[in-house]
Amino acid sequence: MTAPTEGRAIGAPRPRIEGPLKVTGAARYSADNAPPDALHATLVGAPVCQGRIVDVDASAALAVEGVVRILTWHDLPTFGPVPPWQAAVLNLPMQSDRIQHEGEPVAIVLATDIQAAEQARTMVTVRCAPTPPVLPGQGRRNLITASEEVDESGLVEGERGAPFRIGDVDAALASSAVRVSETWIQPSRHHNFIETSGTVARWDGDLLTVWDSAQASFIVPNVIAAALQLDPGNIRVIAPHVGGGFGGKGWVWPHQILAAAAARIVDRPVKLHLGRADQYTSTGFQPLLDQFLELGATEDGRLTALRHQVSNITSMTEVYVEAATEVKDLYACPAIDVSQSVEPVTVNLPTPMRTTNEGCGLWPLESAMNELAHRLGVDPIEIRLRNHADREPTTGRAWSTKHLREAYEEGARLFGWYSRPRGGRSEGNWRIGTGMASSTMGQIRFPGNATVVLQRDGDVVVRVDIQDIGTGLQTLLAQVAAEELGTSVEAVRVEWGDSDLPSTGPMYAGSGTVANTSAVALACRDIRKQLGEHSDTDDVLDALRQTDLPQITGDGRYELPNRVPMDMYGGDSGYAIRSFGAVFAEVAVDPELGIMRMRRMVGVYDCGRVMNARTARSQMIGSLVWAWGKSALERSELDPTTARWMSKNLSSVHIPVNADISDLITIAFIDEPDPYASVTGARAMGEIGATGADAAIAEAVFDAIGVRFRELPITPKRILDALAEMGR
Amino acid sequence: MTRSQILNDGGVAPDDPAGDTPTNQEPLAPALAVNVRLHVNGAQHAVHVSARVTLLDWLRDDLRLTGTKKGCNEGACGACTVLVNGRRMNSCLMLVAQCDGSEVTTIEGLAGPDGHLHPVQQAFIDCDAFQCGYCTPGQVLSAVACIQEGHTRSPEEVREWMSGNLCRCSAYPQITSAVLAAAEGKV
């Protein structure tokens, strides 16, 4: 590992530049905006999971003092078609009497104060002609085929869930010395960000201003404009701070369109800040996944076959594929056969959630690898080393950079892996166990734009329309500009979160760091290039002062190979681009009460160049805690008679609290730049920590009490039931 | 008697089935206004306010003190934590009508008049105790009270007594460090 980059801007553990705003309450989130004369909006959701609206009676609600208007589908314009991969759902609500899922908006209450809006929404009576629900397990599983879907802007997602096959898996399995063949399940889970989604919309003539809670504000004008049939150039989106996204604010959801439409109808600004209960049906969730996975191996633990069949639930009207088979490039294996299917049920549409694809697929794959290691009596690290993929298995491409072996080694050292007691140990009422797994996340990239201004007084301004969702990106951009221009980080001011700034990509899948640090670096290099025409000094400020310019502006455009609008896993770079890691867990289980506790975790990651050691560490801690929630606590359950989410609140949906989380979380990085992933050598960091950790935790539980859990979460009841079944 | 029997007999299910929020609940009572005098961040307010208005909505919508955040509106997340007479409260669970004669401190009132950060605010920056920042005002005020309560004798105690404030970005270890650092005067 490289030494800490002391004295350099990039890599240093700089405190977040927006920190003072956040600890003083000055950071403004969407719902903190209240244009004069704004109305508060609340949504009335469909009471049944599918069917038709017979009648919406708003007469009592309209009598509430402060209520100005109640809109139903009769009042709304017919929306234009919205672009896929930007709009989260294509079949927008409030366009007919059709009900697509429980909670789908069927009326919008507009009132002068939030109390009236909340009171009135409970008094709107919706009569329905319901159709019976279709629950998970009752729907038909539709196999995803290899067809490619292309939208107007050229975004391709055809590979998502398409079948893939090399070699003869049946023959390889038949002749394998060892075979693991099991089904793994993980429940539906919601993002449960603390800031519920919200949109404030204000019209000034034909110009629309939207204060929004979004992870990709650059697509908001496109979608609203398409729905309302406007010029997207007439829409300004202001979205500097977002109170958590985790994927749930990645695409444009119907409430964002409805807020703008309602504001136009009543000709007043509208604030729609979703209530907590609304959130469960207004944006997506990670769908229930059923994964059959089969490994064949030789006696010395070399993989001969991988079969992976994934099924997830989706809505009745649209297809969302949770591409868990995207883990097929983790290990060298001569025969691979993966396929996915979706099961339409009467729920709202799922969406990506930390960590989509690999976070889902590693749960069975890494669990199976641990079962294989146990079966063969081989150390879990050793079996992974024996199957290390020196090139990308499905294409044969070279990796851009890969340091997974070093991650295993460093993780084992930090954890004390080889001196751990095997088979667990006792400590008071507790059984203590340990486990490990690999982590991986393929790089997703978008192009980026940035402008950097160097002023004569030495100040530097970075301009980029990107959100702050808490990753620390804005601080990274100041660091990049400081290093590229040779100034101090303090001299750099970053302006972000406004569509008047240079448009750039989204803040999800870690793509924000790649696109934005690259674009800022290129903008700085543009400044140097321009100054080089005036002066041969290396000091940009001296060079600027030798001119009569008041300031100099550099433009940075980060393009992907072949100028595509998005690429995955290296695209046309000629290399496979993917991050890797190794995660270790020690858990304590009380076999009498079924309680499970995190004792300590270690994660070591190879994510390219570490841009800020402090924010990087926080990203990984957050990811590991996220994985703990998945492993031990979280599930969103559908009522088995009505198909509505049972717990639409934070009181009954268990997510990790401080007391759940050990202080003993150790994070380390293999800090090696990836010259093919980005201009700065950075790769994505936000997601990988939440991959594989569930399998490490489940292995630790097995080590502690001898029970293999293949369904998450591992709750006290499940632990007690399993132990009872074993007669203990 | 085993510990698991005690647990079961006590009626605490180890695997609590999920609860729910009722819809179409009884309409709220019609608006009835009350007179309330209170201090917010040292400034006196004498207001005539609808009896059903929560402290949270009043702070945000009437005083425009938007640093206090709405996360769940039912006392589960702690994002709306403020200090009422020095004690931490979920402002979504308090009515303004209950605050007559009270001193309320919000996140905007914590720094010194010269803008100098409160030691807990500085500790949150120094320890990197937040990501998105949405829960941070509530975490900071909860930490101020937690320290005053004396619930900072160990990391375990801090974790327990800071568990009313959810952080979905999960900066929990850093929050614990920040509270301990501020409690020990290491800021």
**Is residue A382 located within the same domain as residue A461?**
no
Choose the mutation target among B56, B66, B168, B174 for the interface with A, i.e. most A CBs under 10 Å.
B168
CATH number of B33-105: 3.10.20.30
Give the pLDDT band (50/70/90) at residue A5: very low
Distance CA A156, CA A160 (A): 9
Grouping H, G, I as helix, E, B as strand and the rest as coil, residue A422 is coil
Q: Would you call A614 and B128 a contact, using CB atoms and an 8 Å cutoff?
A: yes
Q: What is the pLDDT of residue A406?
A: 98
Contact with chain B for residue A47, Cβ under 8 A: yes
End-to-end, the C-alpha distance of chain B in Å comes to: 49
Instruction: Note whether A473 and A537 are same-domain residues.
Output: yes
Residues of A in contact with B160 (CB under 8 A): 658-659
Q: Do the domain assignments include residue A530?
A: yes
Residues A683 and A723 in one domain: yes
Pair (A372, A457) in one structural domain: no
Across the interface, do A244 and B132 touch by the CB < 8 Å criterion? Answer: yes
Residue B125 to residue A16, Cβ atoms within 8 A? yes
- Domain positions in chain B are 33-105, 119-183
Given an 8 Å threshold on Cβ–Cβ distance, is A593 in contact with B14?
A: yes
Q: Which residue would you say has higher pLDDT here, A3 or A268?
A: A268
Please tell me if residue A594 touches chain B, with a CB cutoff of 8 Å. yes
- The residue that leads in pLDDT, A160 or A408, is A408
Residues A577 and A651 in one domain: yes
- Residue in chain A closest to B155 (alpha carbons) equals A663
Select from A4, A120, A18, A1 the least CA-distant residue to A466. Answer: A18
Model pLDDT, residue A139: 86
**Domain spanning B119-183: which CATH class is it, in words?**
mainly alpha
> A178 in a domain, yes or no?
no
Task: Based on the fold, state whether residues A516 and A405 are members of the same structural domain.
Answer: no
pLDDT of residue A294: 98
* pLDDT confidence tier of residue A410, bands split at 50, 70 and 90: very high
- Domain ranges, residue A228: 30-133+191-282
Which of B70, B105, B180 to probe the A interface (max A CBs under 10 A)? B70
The predicted pLDDT at position B31 comes to 63
Per-residue pLDDT tens over the stretch A502-513: 999 999 988 999
Chain B contact probe: residue of A24, A118, A278 with most B CBs at under 10 A: A24
Q: Residue A162 has what pLDDT?
A: 87
Q: What is the pLDDT of residues A206-251, one digit of tens each?
A: 999 999 999 999 999 999 999 999 999 999 999 999 999 999 999 9
Residues A533/A494, Cβ–Cβ less than 8 Å: no
Domain boundary among A282, A315, A337: A282
The reply to whether A604 and A720 lie within a common domain is yes
By mean pLDDT, which of A7-21, A115-129, B28-42 is the weakest? B28-42
Q: What is the per-residue pLDDT for B2? A: 72
Q: Which among A287, A279, A218, A234 is positioned nearest to A254, based on CA atoms? A: A279
* A244 part of contact set with chain B, CB < 8 Å: yes
Instruction: Kindly report the nearest CA distance between residue B184 and chain A, in angstroms.
Output: 18
Looking at residue A21, its pLDDT comes to: 98
Residues A62-81 have pLDDT tens digits of 999 999 999 999 999 999 99
Q: Any bridge partners for residue A453, and if so which?
A: A461, A553
Would the pLDDT of B13 be above 80?
Answer: no
Q: What is the pLDDT of residues A474-496, one digit of tens each?
A: 999 999 999 999 999 999 999 99
Beta bridge partners of B44: B39
Q: What pLDDT shows up at residue A161? A: 82
Report d(CA A622, CA A667) in Å as an integer. Answer: 11
Q: Does A87 reside within a domain?
A: yes
Query: Is A123 in the same domain as A224?
Result: yes
CA–CA distance from A398 to each of A375, A480, A569, A725, B13 (Å)? 32, 28, 12, 48, 53
Q: Give every CB contact of residue A187 below 8 A, 6+ residues apart in sequence.
A: A288, A634, A635, A636, A637, A712, A713
pLDDT value at residue A151: 42
Token pair 């093919």 is found at: A676
The minimal CB distance from B169 to the residues A470, A653, A657 is found for A470
Is there a contact between A652 and B137 if contact means CB atoms under 8 Å apart?
A: no
pLDDT above 70 for A4: no
Say if residue A440 is preceded by a cis peptide, omega within 30 of 0.
no
Question: What is the Cα–Cα distance from A507 to A154, expressed in whole angstroms?
Answer: 20
Q: Is A390 within the bounds of a domain?
A: yes
- The pair of structure tokens assigned to B186 is 């290491």
The whole-angstrom distance between A243's CA and the closest CA on chain B is 5
Asked whether residue A492 is assigned to any structural domain, the reply reads: yes
pLDDT at A23: 98
Q: Does A250 touch chain B (CB under 8 A)?
A: no
pLDDT of A276 > 50? The answer is yes
Give the residue on A whose Cα is nearest the Cα of B6: A593
Alpha carbons A310 and A148: distance in angstroms, whole number: 19
Question: CB distance A29–B69 less than 8 Å?
Answer: yes
Of A20, A45, A122, the CB nearest to B27: A122
Write A59-62 long-range contacts (CB < 8 A, 24+): A60/A123, A60/A124, A60/A125, A60/B27, A61/A109, A61/A120, A61/A121, A61/A123, A61/A124, A62/A120
What number of H helices and E strands is found in chain A?
A: 16, 27
pLDDT at B30 over 80: no
Does residue A181 lie in a domain region? no
Quick check: A519 pLDDT over 80?
Answer: yes
| C-alpha A277, offset from chain centre | 21
Evaluate whether A237 touches A506 at the Cβ level (below 8 Å): no
Q: Is the pLDDT of residue A9 over 70?
A: yes
In a domain, A353, yes or no: no
- pLDDT for B186: 74
CATH value at residue A479? 3.30.365.10
- Minimal C-alpha gap between B178 and chain A (Å): 12
- Does the pLDDT of residue A159 top 90, yes or no? no
Token pair, residue A571, equals: 């695209």
Q: What is the mean pLDDT of chain A?
A: 95
Among A282, A297, A315, the domain-final residue is A282
Q: Quick check: B168 and A193 CB within 8 A?
A: yes
Task: Please give the DSSP secondary-structure letter assigned to residue A175.
Answer: T
Q: Are residues A606 and A693 in the same domain?
A: yes
- The verdict on a CB contact (< 8 Å) between B61 and A34 is yes
Q: At A686, is the pLDDT very low, low, confident or very high (cuts 50, 70, 90)?
A: confident
Q: Do A527 and A673 share a domain, yes or no?
A: no
* Most B-contacting residue of A65, A113, A194 (CB-CB within 10 A), to test interface: A194
Q: Do A647 and B108 touch (CB under 8 A)?
A: no
How many Cβ atoms sit within 10 Å of the Cβ of residue A536? Answer: 9
A570: confidence class by pLDDT, cuts 50, 70, 90: very high
- At residue B12 the predicted structure's pLDDT band, cuts being 50, 70 and 90, is very low
Shortest Cα distance from A423 to chain B (angstroms)? 24
B106: which chain A residues are within 8 Å (Cβ-Cβ)?
A: 25
Q: Give the largest Cα separation in chain B, rounded.
A: 61
Is residue A330 a part of any domain in this protein? no
Q: A669: closest CA among A626, A622, A578, A608?
A: A608
Per-residue tokens: A236: 């300004």
Using a CB-CB cut-off of 8 Å, the residues of chain A touching B174 are 618, 621
pLDDT at B3: 73
**In this complex, do B71 and A276 lie within 8 Å of one another by their Cβ atoms?**
yes
**Same domain membership, residue A431 and residue A457:** no
Residue B86 to chain A, least CA–CA distance (Å): 18
Average pLDDT over residues A274-283: 97
E strands, A413-571, in order:
425-427, 430-442, 444-445, 448-455, 460-464, 492-496, 551-558, 567-568
Provide mean pLDDT across the span A373-379: 97
Structural domain ending residue among the three candidates A233, A267, A282: A282
User: Is a pLDDT exceeding 80 seen at residue B25?
Assistant: no
Domains in chain A: how many in total?
3
Q: How high is the pLDDT of residue B21?
A: 37
Residues A525 and A579 in one domain: no
Per-residue pLDDT at A450 exceeds 50? yes
pTM, full prediction: 0.95
Confidence of residue A150 (pLDDT cuts 50, 70, 90): very low
How much is the pLDDT for A152? 42
| Residues A323-375 pLDDT 10s | 999 999 999 999 999 999 999 999 999 999 999 999 999 999 999 999 999 99
